[in-house]
Structure 1
Amino acid sequence: MSLSELRVFGRSGTPLSPLTLGTMNFGERPGGASGGAPTGADESIRIIQTALDAGITAVDTADVYSQGESEQVVGRALRGRRDDVFLATKFHGQMSANPAHSGNSRRWIMQAVEGSLRRLQTDRIDLYQAHRPDYNTDVLETITALNDLIRQGKILYYGTSVFTPAQLVEAQWLATTNHLIPPVANQVPYSMLVRGNERDVLPIAQQYGLGVLAYGPLAGGWLSGEFVLDAGKPPTRVHSLPGRYDISGPSSERKLLASDSLARLADKLEISLVELAIGFALNHPAVSSVIIRPRTEDHLKAYLKAADTLLGESVLDAIDELVPPGTNFVERDAGAVVPSLEYAELRRR
């Protein structure tokens, strides 16, 4: 696999590069990157243009990333190159102190798309995604509004992000029974340490011909090479984001052991752990493209090198032995938390 070997994005027929440039780290306002310094505008633009020059054809952002600043950076970087890029963004996150400026309602979608078009300096969005499920809004309202945007020419396709299996099927059923264009994509976390979506989400995507954008191939840094056992020295990120990287619990302890074992496997294969991680995420037949989120040009170079990684059956079997298919060490790694599991009063009704 290399960046020149384009993949078809689900049933849309659109060819995409195997890597998609994610821009969550670009921009310095609140709401940008978590767990590390964000990337300023000038360096972000250089990274975007370097990625495009290297053969990446897709860019993924969201209105909530740095509260619109990420979209502004992307818009500046794509001047003169817009027609060569598959541009994806998202709505749902709260964009002001007003809670009405969020969610998946028709009222907010119609406002949010105008803001994204303006910041991105474009007349259409290739893929417009519901960043998270909205349990207060009927799914039919959301997909009807998105169909209207397609008819208006403001978006070409729409999709979802971290929707549950039931929500994915519901959206397809509602679209079909109401003579609407159904979603063509779903964005999910997927890595050697976050494999829960192999159980149902990825098979459902294949069943309905959904393009899959897989994010988090390094599992939030756990597969960066930093989370290894080295004479009892804890990873530095434990101190910066204890809520996410606390290794004191049994689930996280098992996750750390798995991360260390995967790092040793990469050493045995004489490749970097990043290359092993990217190669693994790209291998699943349901995955259309893997979202990378570099903070620096050096990070980007490491990702680009990893795009050429080919893993044989024996290597994939070795990964399965260390982390069995369908495994999630920590439930929140799977993406959005279902309210019925998050709130005790809903679990006990």
Structure 2
Amino acid sequence: MEYGRLGNSGLRISKISLGCWNFGSPNPPFGIPGRVTSQDAIRLIHEAYDLGINLIDNANRYTGGEADQIQGRAMKGHRSDFIVATKLMKRVGERPNDEGLSRVHFMQEVENILRRLDTDYVDLLQAHDVDWGTPLEETLRAFDDLIRQGKVRYIGCSNFPAWLLAKSLWISDVRNLAGFVSAQPKYNLISREVEKELQPLCVDQGIGMIIYSPLEGGILTGKYNQGIPDDSRAGDSNPLTWDRAENMKSQVEKLQQALGVLRDVAAELGKSPSQVSLNWLINRPAVSSAIIGATRSEQIVDNAGATGWKLPEELADRLEQAFAR
């Protein structure tokens, strides 16, 4: 496993990290339904750790908080070996203040997160999304207070547009508040919108990007080479996620030529399509880590194999041209 600093901070994290959004009950009180049982999820976290993955990404909303509890049990007795990254902002209950980036929601949810994780601090606390109803300074002061209290070590944001991240950094600077060290956007060979504004900002300001959806929901793994399996995200017939599945089907159909180039490059290198896609990503400017989602051990092993080598520049150019829009 390769490690690097999170932006300009002193925190060293694994280039591949593990996400917990799949872990827990298929019928949570809120959040996305889980696909991995508690026992299997704990095993996957341990297997990731054995491969050198030290960053575990979570959120208070994942499977109604159960993902936190699972991670807490998995870390029992080894808390200092893990970098705990979590997020809050999205709705976790029916009360008026059960969502958002207000001081009230921050303070109550951090206590809930710490209790479920069975720890007294979080390494990286991130704003899960933008809260247009709360002043940025209120949010940043709450972050700063949590750092001063020792409950949070570093802070970051997710899904912030570049201009809002820049404004946040400016407020932290002029108010002498702790500033964001990371941003968590979607980024991969298919989805490259961050290259326009967010990535240049992160390079300039020393912000580390922790990437979600690095394999575009499995499209970049090669599993759709022979069509769309019924048990895949694109083959999902659940009416609650039907629109997302239809969008993925459309993407797969439009990208067949580019995916063919990805398969050819992977075969030339003796790597899997997932490993090539992830290696391209983790070597992009400002990228500190890519979050993988796993339901099986072999997925973690394969994705961890994206480190320890570097995609030749000419092959990287070939991929970028194939997936260019």
TM-score by length of 2: 0.91
Q: Verify the 8 A CA contact 1:25 1:32 in the aligned structure 2.
A: no
> CA 1:138/1:321 → structure 2, altered by over 3 Å: closer, same or farther?
same
1:160 pairs with one of 154, 157, 160: 157
Residues 266-314 of structure 1: CA distance to partner in whole angstroms, max 9, x if unpaired? 2344321111111111111311111111112122111122333420001
Pick one of 161, 185, 190 that aligns with 2:187: 190
Cα displacement (A) at 1:261: 3.6
- After superposition, the C-alpha distances for 1:128-182 in whole angstroms (9 at most, x for unaligned) are 0000111111111111111011111111111100100111101001111111111
C-alpha change, 1:154 and 1:249, in structure 2 (3 Å) is: closer
**Contact in 2 for aligned 1:278/1:309 (Cα 8 Å):** no
Aligned positions of 1:169-318 closer than 5 A: 169-228=166-225, 230=226, 233-234=227-228, 236=230, 237-240=233-236, 241-246=241-246, 253-318=253-318
Instruction: Tell me the secondary structure at the aligned position of residue 123 of structure 2.
Output: strand
From 122, 125, 144, give the equivalent of 1:147. 144
1:83 corresponds to 2:80? yes
**Deviation, structure 1 residue 234:** 4.3
Deviation at 1:79, TM superposition (A): 0.9
Letter in 2 for 1:210: I
Deviation at 1:71, TM superposition (A): 0.5
Q: Which runs of 5+ in 1 are unaligned?
A: 328-349
Q: Which amino acid aligns with 1:39?
A: V
> Which residue of 7, 23, 26 corresponds with 1:26?
23
SS at match of 1:265: helix
Is residue 128 of structure 1 aligned with residue 147 of structure 2?
no
Task: Provide closer, same or farther for how the CA distance between residues 181 and 190 of structure 1 changes in structure 2, counting only shifts above 3 A.
Answer: same
Percent identical among aligned pairs is 34
Pairing partner for 2:48 from 38, 47, 51 = 51
Q: Deviations over 1:25-72 (max 9, x none)?
A: 1111435556xx611111111111111122111111010000100000
Question: Bigger shift: 300-309 or 178-187?
Answer: 300-309
Instruction: Give the SS at the match of 1:153.
Output: coil
Partners of 2:65 and 2:42 in 1: how far apart?
A: 15
Distance 2:213 2:290 in 1: 8
Q: Which amino acid aligns with 2:140?
A: I
Where do 5+ consecutive residues of structure 2 fail to align? none
Equivalent-residue separation in structure 2 for 1:82 and 1:238 (angstroms): 36
Residue aligned with 1:246, SS = helix
Q: TM-score, normalised to structure 1's length? A: 0.85
Q: Is the 1:188–1:215 Cα contact (8 Å) retained in structure 2?
A: yes
How do 1:33-48 and structure 2 match up within 5 A? Answer: 33=32, 38-48=35-45
Provide the rounded CA distance (Å) in 1 between the counterparts of 2:98 and 2:250.
39
SS for the counterpart of 1:157 is: strand
The match for 1:63 is 60
Q: Residues 151, 45 of structure 1: CA spacing in aligned structure 2 closer, same or farther, 3 A cutoff?
A: same
Structure 1 segments of 4 or more deviating over 4 A?
Answer: 31-34, 247-253
- The 1-side partners of 2:234 and 2:198 are apart by 30
Superposition RMSD in Å: 2.0
Give the conservation status (yes or no) of the 8 Å contact 1:279–1:311. yes
| Number of equivalent positions | 317
Deviation at 1:248, TM superposition (A): 9.3
- Deviation of 1:253 after TM superposition, in Å, equals 4.2
User: Does the 8 Å CA contact 1:227/1:256 hold for their aligned counterparts?
Assistant: no
CA contact (8 A) 2:88 2:127 kept: yes
